[in-house]
Amino acid sequence: MDVVVAQSRRWTRDEYERLAEQGFFRPDEHLELLDGEILAMTPQKGSHAQAVGLAIETFRQAFGPDAHVRSQLPLALSAETMPEPDVAVVSGSVRDYPAHPTTAMLVMEIADTSLPLDRQRKGPLYARAGIPEYWIVNLVDRIVEVYREPIETADGWHYRLVHRVGPGSDVTPLATGQPVLVDDLLP
Protein backbone atom coordinates (compact mmCIF):
# COMPACT_ATOMS: atom_id res chain seq x y z
CA MET A 1 0.00 0.00 0.00
CA ASP A 2 1.31 3.43 -0.93
CA VAL A 3 1.56 6.05 1.79
CA VAL A 4 0.34 9.50 0.85
CA VAL A 5 1.99 12.36 2.68
CA ALA A 6 0.06 15.61 2.77
CA GLN A 7 2.08 18.72 2.20
CA SER A 8 1.13 22.20 3.22
CA ARG A 9 1.44 24.96 0.67
CA ARG A 10 3.59 27.97 1.47
CA TRP A 11 2.28 31.36 0.42
CA THR A 12 4.25 34.40 -0.67
CA ARG A 13 3.51 37.91 0.50
CA ASP A 14 2.31 38.85 -3.00
CA GLU A 15 -0.09 35.89 -3.13
CA TYR A 16 -1.38 36.67 0.35
CA GLU A 17 -2.03 40.30 -0.57
CA ARG A 18 -3.83 39.25 -3.79
CA LEU A 19 -6.06 36.88 -1.81
CA ALA A 20 -6.94 39.71 0.57
CA GLU A 21 -7.62 42.15 -2.30
CA GLN A 22 -9.94 39.61 -3.97
CA GLY A 23 -11.98 39.22 -0.78
CA PHE A 24 -10.86 35.66 -0.06
CA PHE A 25 -10.68 36.37 3.67
CA ARG A 26 -13.56 37.57 5.84
CA PRO A 27 -13.25 41.25 6.85
CA ASP A 28 -13.34 40.30 10.54
CA GLU A 29 -10.51 37.75 10.27
CA HIS A 30 -7.22 38.74 11.87
CA LEU A 31 -4.57 36.87 9.89
CA GLU A 32 -0.80 36.99 9.65
CA LEU A 33 1.61 35.52 7.13
CA LEU A 34 4.48 33.89 9.03
CA ASP A 35 7.15 32.07 7.07
CA GLY A 36 4.70 31.20 4.29
CA GLU A 37 1.87 30.06 6.57
CA ILE A 38 -1.36 32.00 6.96
CA LEU A 39 -2.26 31.93 10.64
CA ALA A 40 -5.54 33.00 12.23
CA MET A 41 -4.89 35.04 15.34
CA THR A 42 -7.06 34.78 18.45
CA PRO A 43 -9.44 37.61 19.35
CA GLN A 44 -8.05 40.23 21.72
CA LYS A 45 -9.09 40.41 25.34
CA GLY A 46 -9.65 43.79 26.98
CA SER A 47 -6.29 43.65 28.78
CA HIS A 48 -4.52 43.02 25.46
CA ALA A 49 -6.19 46.00 23.80
CA GLN A 50 -5.41 48.20 26.79
CA ALA A 51 -1.74 47.15 26.75
CA VAL A 52 -1.51 48.00 23.03
CA GLY A 53 -2.87 51.48 23.76
CA LEU A 54 -0.46 51.95 26.66
CA ALA A 55 2.50 50.89 24.51
CA ILE A 56 1.54 53.31 21.73
CA GLU A 57 1.32 56.24 24.17
CA THR A 58 4.55 55.26 25.93
CA PHE A 59 6.57 54.78 22.74
CA ARG A 60 5.33 58.00 21.15
CA GLN A 61 6.71 59.86 24.17
CA ALA A 62 9.94 57.85 24.34
CA PHE A 63 10.81 57.99 20.63
CA GLY A 64 9.50 61.46 19.83
CA PRO A 65 8.74 62.98 16.44
CA ASP A 66 11.54 61.21 14.53
CA ALA A 67 9.79 57.84 14.77
CA HIS A 68 6.44 56.47 13.70
CA VAL A 69 4.68 54.13 16.16
CA ARG A 70 2.53 51.64 14.24
CA SER A 71 -0.08 49.32 15.69
CA GLN A 72 -1.19 46.00 14.21
CA LEU A 73 -0.05 46.96 10.72
CA PRO A 74 2.01 44.76 8.39
CA LEU A 75 5.79 44.62 8.26
CA ALA A 76 7.06 43.20 4.96
CA LEU A 77 9.99 41.26 6.44
CA SER A 78 10.55 38.83 3.56
CA ALA A 79 8.80 37.36 0.52
CA GLU A 80 7.06 34.86 2.83
CA THR A 81 6.66 36.81 6.07
CA MET A 82 4.36 39.72 6.79
CA PRO A 83 3.45 39.80 10.49
CA GLU A 84 1.25 42.47 12.03
CA PRO A 85 2.94 43.11 15.37
CA ASP A 86 0.94 44.74 18.13
CA VAL A 87 3.39 47.66 18.06
CA ALA A 88 6.30 48.48 15.76
CA VAL A 89 8.47 51.57 15.92
CA VAL A 90 9.93 52.62 12.57
CA SER A 91 12.14 55.59 11.74
CA GLY A 92 10.67 58.67 10.11
CA SER A 93 7.01 59.52 9.72
CA VAL A 94 3.93 57.80 8.35
CA ARG A 95 4.46 59.63 5.03
CA ASP A 96 7.79 57.82 4.58
CA TYR A 97 5.95 54.52 4.08
CA PRO A 98 3.65 54.36 1.05
CA ALA A 99 4.29 50.59 1.18
CA HIS A 100 4.73 48.39 4.24
CA PRO A 101 8.03 48.96 6.07
CA THR A 102 10.60 46.20 5.72
CA THR A 103 12.20 46.72 9.11
CA ALA A 104 11.66 48.40 12.47
CA MET A 105 13.77 49.77 15.30
CA LEU A 106 11.68 47.87 17.83
CA VAL A 107 8.82 45.37 17.59
CA MET A 108 6.49 44.51 20.47
CA GLU A 109 3.90 41.78 20.95
CA ILE A 110 1.38 41.75 23.78
CA ALA A 111 0.96 38.16 24.95
CA ASP A 112 -1.12 35.98 27.18
CA THR A 113 -2.38 32.91 25.28
CA SER A 114 -0.02 33.72 22.38
CA LEU A 115 3.19 33.48 24.46
CA PRO A 116 4.46 30.26 22.77
CA LEU A 117 3.80 31.69 19.29
CA ASP A 118 5.41 35.03 20.15
CA ARG A 119 8.51 33.41 21.66
CA GLN A 120 9.04 30.42 19.39
CA ARG A 121 7.74 31.54 15.98
CA LYS A 122 7.71 35.31 15.85
CA GLY A 123 10.93 35.92 17.79
CA PRO A 124 13.08 33.94 15.34
CA LEU A 125 11.37 35.61 12.37
CA TYR A 126 12.08 39.06 13.78
CA ALA A 127 15.68 38.04 14.52
CA ARG A 128 16.14 36.69 10.98
CA ALA A 129 14.82 40.00 9.61
CA GLY A 130 17.48 41.86 11.63
CA ILE A 131 15.05 43.64 13.96
CA PRO A 132 17.52 44.80 16.65
CA GLU A 133 15.06 44.72 19.52
CA TYR A 134 11.94 42.65 20.22
CA TRP A 135 9.80 43.06 23.34
CA ILE A 136 7.01 40.86 24.65
CA VAL A 137 4.64 42.35 27.20
CA ASN A 138 3.93 39.11 29.07
CA LEU A 139 0.49 39.63 30.61
CA VAL A 140 0.58 36.23 32.36
CA ASP A 141 3.68 36.95 34.47
CA ARG A 142 3.28 40.75 34.34
CA ILE A 143 6.77 41.35 32.98
CA VAL A 144 8.37 42.69 29.82
CA GLU A 145 10.67 40.27 28.01
CA VAL A 146 13.37 42.18 26.12
CA TYR A 147 15.20 40.39 23.29
CA ARG A 148 18.29 42.00 21.73
CA GLU A 149 21.15 41.20 19.36
CA PRO A 150 19.76 38.91 16.66
CA ILE A 151 22.12 36.07 15.84
CA GLU A 152 22.10 32.97 13.66
CA THR A 153 23.38 29.74 15.20
CA ALA A 154 23.18 26.07 14.24
CA ASP A 155 19.71 26.06 15.85
CA GLY A 156 18.48 28.92 13.64
CA TRP A 157 17.82 32.57 14.34
CA HIS A 158 17.24 33.92 17.83
CA TYR A 159 18.25 36.80 20.10
CA ARG A 160 21.50 36.52 22.03
CA LEU A 161 20.41 38.71 24.94
CA VAL A 162 17.18 38.14 26.86
CA HIS A 163 16.15 40.24 29.86
CA ARG A 164 12.99 39.94 31.91
CA VAL A 165 12.00 43.21 33.53
CA GLY A 166 9.26 43.50 36.14
CA PRO A 167 7.04 46.20 37.61
CA GLY A 168 8.88 49.03 39.34
CA SER A 169 11.74 48.78 36.82
CA ASP A 170 12.51 50.50 33.56
CA VAL A 171 14.18 49.56 30.30
CA THR A 172 15.70 51.87 27.69
CA PRO A 173 15.04 51.07 24.01
CA LEU A 174 18.28 50.82 22.02
CA ALA A 175 17.19 53.50 19.53
CA THR A 176 16.44 56.15 22.15
CA GLY A 177 17.99 57.27 25.42
CA GLN A 178 14.56 57.60 27.02
CA PRO A 179 13.83 54.93 29.67
CA VAL A 180 10.41 53.28 29.60
CA LEU A 181 8.73 52.25 32.85
CA VAL A 182 7.44 48.68 32.82
CA ASP A 183 4.44 49.90 34.82
CA ASP A 184 3.51 52.17 31.89
CA LEU A 185 3.17 49.09 29.65
CA LEU A 186 1.15 46.85 31.96
CA PRO A 187 -2.64 47.21 32.19
Instruction: Please state the domain extents for the chain.
Output: 43-184
3-state secondary structure of 38: strand
Question: In CATH, which superfamily holds the domain spanning 43-184?
Answer: tt1808, chain A (3.90.1570.10)
Q: Say whether pLDDT at 43 is over 90.
A: no
Q: What integer is the mean pLDDT of 1-27? A: 80
Q: What integer is the mean pLDDT of 89-105? A: 91
Q: Say whether pLDDT at 4 is over 70.
A: no
Q: Say whether pLDDT at 89 is over 90.
A: yes
Q: What is the pTM of this model?
A: 0.87
| pLDDT at residue 86, rounded to an integer | 96
| pLDDT at residue 21, rounded to an integer | 84
Q: How many CA atoms lie within 13 A of 105 on its CB side?
A: 17
Q: Say whether pLDDT at 25 is over 70.
A: yes
What DSSP character marks residue 31?
E
| pLDDT at residue 1, rounded to an integer | 60
C-alpha to C-alpha distance for 129 and 120, rounded to whole angstroms? 15
Q: List residues bridging with 31 in a β-sheet.
A: 40
C-alpha to C-alpha distance for 58 and 52, rounded to whole angstroms? 10
C-alpha to C-alpha distance for 110 and 6, rounded to whole angstroms? 34
| Residue 9 pLDDT level (bands cut at 50, 70, 90) | confident
